[in-house]
Amino acid sequence: MRGRRAALGLIAATAWPARAASAAPLRVVIPAVHPSSQEHAGYFVQLLRLALEKTVVGDGPFDIRFFSEEMSSPRQMTELKNRGAINVMWDGTNRQREAELLPVRISLLRQLNDYRVFLIRQEDQPRFAAVRSLDDLRKLTAGAGVNWPSTEVLRANELPVIASINFESLFPMLQAKRFDDLPRGVYEAWYEQREHSAQGLVIEQTIFLHYQVPFYFFVSRSNPALAERIERGLRLAQDDGSFDRLFHSIPSFKRSLDEIDTGRRRVFELKLP
């Protein structure tokens, strides 16, 4: 573990205010971004950097690095909880994360994480177009990550789920008919579909799942100073409009907002656990 930590790769330039030039930079270590989520995950890195830049004058310089290896979501939580290999992560909130980690309570995705579309096999579109109720949807099985907040929501609404600890395995599992659909945040789906189009996967055209799961930065409960700095920086970015400018610069976010605004899809409201 010590050797791997030493292999962290630098991803962001350090910001140095004149009056804090001699201060040691705050080291912020974040999970590696998987290539299949590069388009939207890069936004969270940019937003974290923006928040820290807004607080350089008062808090000093910083240094953002990726951890050298990819981590599953459960491992990210464990490392963060124990002040291990990383000290910031981002994800939808749920009871376990709220209990074990310290959330920065500013929603990073606004309404985009509240709308889910399905990745499906292309030949199955007629089956989904025929869905008119949650009872109809309960005849189909979803795939999901083992500890995703959405997995808990699906099960709370009596929707069958097959869970996997490995994110990338979900796509071949869908192709192999281990389950019928893979619910994804509307902002995630376009890029993932392009990446897996050769497997015959498409975005289902008629349904939105809707439930509110805020998407936060999380830090260790033993590191409230870092949470406070990130929150303060995000609020400064909200006040000066730079948060909005970054949010609206992401192509997949704009396409997702347009898809929500069209009102063409049937919306199924799910209750939260």
CATH numbers and ranges of domains, the chain:
2-109+214-250 (3.40.190.10), 112-212+261-269 (3.40.190.10)
234 in Cβ contact with 53 (< 8 Å): no
How far is it, in rounded angstroms, from Cα 48 to Cα 269? 31
pLDDT at 14: 40
Question: How far is C-alpha 150 from the chain's CA centre?
Answer: 11
DSSP, collapsed to helix, strand or coil, labels residue 8 as: coil
Q: What is the pLDDT of residues 141-167, one digit of tens each?
A: 999 998 888 999 999 999 999 999 888
Supply the pLDDT for residue 38.
64
- 158-211 pLDDT, tens digit per residue, is 999 999 988 889 999 999 999 999 999 999 998 899 888 899 999 999 999 999
Q: Find out whether 115 and 188 touch, Cβ atoms under 8 Å.
A: no
- Report the pLDDT value the prediction gives residue 36, as an integer from 0 to 100: 57
Query: What's at 36, amino acid-wise?
Result: S
Lowest mean pLDDT among 34-38, 53-57, 101-105, 177-181: 34-38
Q: Which residue has the higher pLDDT, 5 or 145?
A: 145
The dihedral sign for the CA sequence 184, 186, 187, 189: positive
Residue 10 CB coordination number (10 Å): 10
Mean pLDDT of the chain: 89
In the prediction, which pLDDT does 7 show? Answer: 39
Tell me the three state secondary structure of residue 77: helix
Hunting for tokens 């890069």 — which residue is that? Answer: 42
Of the two residues 156 and 74, the one the predictor is more confident about is: 156
User: Cβ contacts of residue 248 below 8 Å, gap of 6+?
Assistant: 254
**Is the CB of residue 230 less than 8 Å from the CB of residue 30?**
no
8 Å CB contact between 199 and 175: yes
Beta-carbon-side half-sphere exposure of residue 51 (alpha carbons within 13 Å): 22
pLDDT for residue 62 is more than 60:
yes
Q: State how far the Cα of 271 lies from the Cα of 259, in Å rounded to an integer.
A: 22
Residue 17 reports pLDDT greater than 50: no
Among residues of the chain, what percentage have pLDDT more than 70? 89
pLDDT interval class at 22 (50, 70, 90)? low
Please give the Cα distance from 87 to 77 (Å, whole number).
Answer: 10
Say which residue the tokens 């929500």 belong to.
Answer: 260
Question: Can you give the pLDDT at residue 167?
Answer: 87
pLDDT of 13 higher than 80: no
Amino acid, single-letter form, for residue 189: A
pLDDT tens readout for residues 221-230: 999 999 999 9
pLDDT-derived band at 34 (thresholds 50, 70, 90) equals low
- Cβ atoms 143, 162 nearer than 8 A: yes
Q: What is the pTM of this model?
A: 0.83
